[in-house]
Amino acid sequence: MFEGVLLQKSRSRAPALVISYVLQFILMGVLVLVPLLHVEALPTWITRPLVTAPSAPPPPSAPSPATRRAAQRTNSDEVLREPPSIPTTIVLLNEKPLPPQEAVGNPIGVPGGIPNGIPGGIPVGIPGGVPWGTAPPPPPQQKPANTRPVRMSRGVIEAKLIYHPDPVYPRLAVEAHIQGTVLLEAVIGKDGTVRELKAMSGHPFLARAALEAVQRWRYQPTLLNNQPVEVLTEISVRFTLAE
């Protein structure tokens, strides 16, 4: 019985709760919508603009009277005006020619320059340069290059031999029956004389006699590009005993 009473009371309270919830929802909606409909009721800090527009610049100052008069004068001078009357005769004026003006200083030219070779002329060119019409200085003489002797074969040099006295057979070599060939290395000068000479191979008894004989030999000068040159070559001297 007690449970039936509680169930009846709960059923009687349900409509009241629903009505209270609806009224609260309506009240909350009114509180939210009323400020949006009436903007003037909002606080000033909400309606205040966030960005302020810059102030307008001051108007330009009016031109001064002097400037206006100068502008008017310029415009009036540039305007072509019609003459008041047309002249019937033309008067010719015989004016005397102006006297020639004397040149003051050097109207043209280079200060400190060299004369141009004309009487009464003006200095031209670069200061310290060569006068006009002067021949350029001769080119400096080139020193001959220190070239090495040109190497040539033994057969070519033998064809240029023009003086060749025979060597003297050493007495000791004759008594010892020594014979053979002595090979020499020689530098022949531009004039055909033997400048340097040394023994490369051969018996010592025969080498000395070969050096003394070849030192007096003479050759035709060797030309290269029509210029005499020194020649490096080999010379052979043969010693043979008579039977």
Q: Which pLDDT tens digit goes with each residue over 180-234?
A: 999 999 999 999 999 999 999 999 989 999 999 999 999 999 998 899 999 999 9
Q: Is 95 a domain residue? A: no
Strands 150-151 and 231-239, sheet pairing:
parallel
Q: What is the pLDDT of residue 30?
A: 77
pLDDT at position 243 is 65
Q: Is residue 179 part of a domain?
A: yes
Residue 110, C-beta contacts closer than 8 angstroms, at least 6 positions apart:
123, 124, 125, 126, 127
- Asked whether residue 167 is assigned to any structural domain, the reply reads yes
Q: Is residue 74 part of a domain?
A: no
* Domain of residue 16, residue span: 2-39
Report if residue 17 sits inside a domain: yes
What is the Cα–Cα distance from 131 to 39, expressed in whole angstroms?
A: 101
Give the three-class secondary structure for 74.
helix
Q: Domain for residue 195, yes or no?
A: yes
* Residue 136 counted as domain residue: no
Quick one: CA dihedral 166, 170, 175, 177, positive or negative? negative
The β-bridge partners of 196 are 187
Q: How many domains does the chain have?
A: 2
Give which of 240, 233, 236, 231 is closest to 214, Cα–Cα: 236
Q: Per-residue pLDDT tens for 143-190? A: 555 578 999 998 899 899 999 999 999 999 999 999 999 999 999 999
E strand spans, 16-163: 114-115, 123-124, 150-151, 161-163
Residue 134 placed within a domain: no
* 88 confidence band (pLDDT: 50, 70, 90): confident
